[in-house]
Chains A and B, each alone.
Chain A
Amino acid sequence: MLKIEDLHVYYGGIHALKGITMEVPENKIVTLVGANGAGKSTTLRAISSLVQPTQGKITFHGEDITKTKTADIVKKGITLVPEGRRIFANLTVLENINMGAFARNDKDGIKKDIQRIYEMFPRLKEREWQAAGTLSGGEQQMLAIGRALMSRPAVLMMDEPSLGLAPLLVKEVFRIIKEIYSQGMTILLIEQNATAALQVADYGYVLETGNIVLQGPGKELAANDEVKRAYLGKA
């Protein structure tokens, strides 16, 4: 459903993506793993049009969205939970959630979805009126995910949702990812926690300095010796 062909991205002189081709099929979890600086975030940012590729093509349901503006990409159904959560610290929790529904006008639907988010993340309901900046790291991540779901995306992209969280919370994040997936979501996931990510993923890509060096079904990759050595820290 989401296809990337021969994507190149430069930051000034830095060639961050050197011709990436990948695909995210409907109703699957696809993961992108790789060391720091490999170009994982850049790939997601290019899909969201936060950076402009110099070459290559991104299509969604067959439609070319390479040059579509960020806001319109969200309206088409691709939402990004950005690296570092990026909640609006000066807004209340509820206002943050409402921002996620900015493009929507169906009041009743929005109300229902907010209830759904609160059922998924009861902590957020308790803190509805609090400034989001006062939430803990884990709660902020829940808020960032909940906020993204409010746009009713067809594809949810997540950039290192477990970064900086305590092990128990990391587990919780993966449980939520599986829950969202089981409700019919298509997910493109970046994780520094490659083992866990490859375990939940249907398909995985391994990125190394802007190139895809390996790909395959998640569990196969997790068992691959080369991947183990390079990314999973096992001999």
Chain B
Amino acid sequence: MELYLQTLANGISLGSLYALIAIGYTMVYGILRLINFAHADLLMVAGYIAFYGIMVFALPWWFSFLIAIALTALLGVSIEKIAYRPLRNAPRISVLISAIGVSFLLENLGIVAIGARPKSFPRPEELVWNIKLGDISFLSLTVIIPIVTLLLLVAVTYMVNKTKTGTAMRAVSRDFETASLMAVDVNKVVSTTFLVGSSLAAVGGILYSLQYPQIDPLMGVFPGLKCFIAAVMGGIGSIPGAMLGGFILGMGEVFLVAFMPELSGYRDAFAFVILIFILLFKPTGILGENVVEKV
């Protein structure tokens, strides 16, 4: 029973983390029909900025985290401006290659500038402590991560569905040209999308660094891939889908490791097996777009 509860808590925690990161993939895909490979590396960038803020500049952790989020968001917006926008009318494969290029650039820049050796991420004691509940004990993060995530998911859902900016985002994701005929500045809307997605990735990257306090220039690759798979599983382009996919994947991974420890070596493969099944049996994902359209 304890093991079950503990695993459930861990699953929720990892699942919400995946959900947070998966939203960035799905939002960018929804608007540009682009798999933003560089999204994964934003986790790493946020982790390093937070690390340097605390360890080198001796900033309070919360301030360092805020700066990390702001700079990562700025980087995400700049990547779109520099690497994707000039290719707006190019074949989609060109933009995809550009995205892979940016991803490699960030990773190798990290290796060259910072070094490939992992650094240990600081865990502020106000944020990370041990909670004992009867026989089970767990890290405060197990509770903090889902709460932070939940708040952000609610905020994003509200923004996209209820605000003017969010409505414009959905309109642009459907039809750039007609949105511009509504006096929408399409470039601004695309930038906002990257701003939101990258901020969430930054929060995800920081929480991930706290949870697994070893950061290195390639740390974003696996969680990034998994969150991309989560987004595909939920139905890429769908925000609730990305949340659902993230939870299922995180939960599945944790349960796999807990209850079939002999398979724990395949922990990372789990996501790919799911991806293959999804692509085979429901390529549009669980909540994939299904708007009826009459002509």
Q: Do A and B bind each other?
A: yes
**Chain A residues in contact with chain B, CB under 8 A?**
48, 50, 69-72, 74-75, 79-80, 82, 86, 88-91, 95, 98-100, 102-103, 131, 133-137, 140, 147, 151, 164
What A residues does B292 contact at CB under 8 A? 131, 133-134
What B residues does A69 contact at CB under 8 A? 180
Contact with A along B184-219 (1 / 0, CB 8 A): 111000000000000000000000000000000000
Whether A88 contacts B171 by the Cβ 8 Å rule is yes
B183 within 8 A of A: yes
Whether B183 contacts A71 by the Cβ 8 Å rule is yes
What B residues does A131 contact at CB under 8 A? 291-292
Whether B293 contacts A89 by the Cβ 8 Å rule is yes
What A residues does B268 contact at CB under 8 A? none
B178 within 8 A of A: yes
What A residues does B182 contact at CB under 8 A? 74, 99-100, 102-103, 147, 151
Which of A75, A86, A135 lies at the interface centre, i.e. has the most chain B CB atoms within 10 A of its CB?
Answer: A86
Which of B177, B183, B289 lies at the interface centre, i.e. has the most chain A CB atoms within 10 A of its CB?
Answer: B183
Whether A88 contacts B178 by the Cβ 8 Å rule is yes
CB distance from A15 to the nearest CB of B (A): 21
What B residues does A70 contact at CB under 8 A? 177, 180-181
Whether A48 contacts B181 by the Cβ 8 Å rule is yes
With contact pairs A88-B178, A102-B183 given, residues A133 and B167 touching in the complex (Cβ less than 8 Å)? no
What B residues does A79 contact at CB under 8 A? 181
Complex Cα gap A39–B184 (Å): 26
CB distance from A194 to the nearest CB of B (A): 23
CB distance from B3 to the nearest CB of A (A): 44
CB distance from A83 to the nearest CB of B (A): 11
**Chain B residues in contact with chain A, CB under 8 A?**
164, 167-168, 170-171, 173-175, 177-186, 289, 291-295
Whether A88 contacts B183 by the Cβ 8 Å rule is no
Give the contacting residue for A75; candidates B170, B178, B183; CB below 8 A.
Answer: B183
Complex Cα gap A19–B251 (Å): 64
Whether A90 contacts B174 by the Cβ 8 Å rule is yes
Give the contacting residue for A91; candidates B171, B177, B180, B186; CB below 8 A.
Answer: B171
What A residues does B164 contact at CB under 8 A? 98, 102
Complex Cα gap A48–B168 (Å): 19
What B residues does A151 contact at CB under 8 A? 182-183
CB distance from B285 to the nearest CB of A (A): 16
Whether B174 contacts A88 by the Cβ 8 Å rule is yes
Complex Cα gap A100–B184 (Å): 9
Whether A88 contacts B184 by the Cβ 8 Å rule is no
Report the nearest A residue to B237, measured CB to CB: A90
Which of A71, A75, A133, A135 lies at the interface centre, i.e. has the most chain B CB atoms within 10 A of its CB?
Answer: A71
Report the nearest B residue to A103, measured CB to CB: B183
CB distance from A142 to the nearest CB of B (A): 14
What B residues does A135 contact at CB under 8 A? 294
What B residues does A50 contact at CB under 8 A? 177, 180-181
What B residues does A91 contact at CB under 8 A? 167, 170-171, 174
What A residues does B167 contact at CB under 8 A? 91, 95, 98-99
CB distance from A157 to the nearest CB of B (A): 10
With contact pairs A70-B180, A99-B182, A100-B182 given, residues A136 and B174 touching in the complex (Cβ less than 8 Å)? no
What B residues does A98 contact at CB under 8 A? 164, 167
CB distance from B90 to the nearest CB of A (A): 15
Whether A133 contacts B293 by the Cβ 8 Å rule is yes
Complex Cα gap A95–B168 (Å): 9
Whether A89 contacts B183 by the Cβ 8 Å rule is no
CB distance from B93 to the nearest CB of A (A): 20
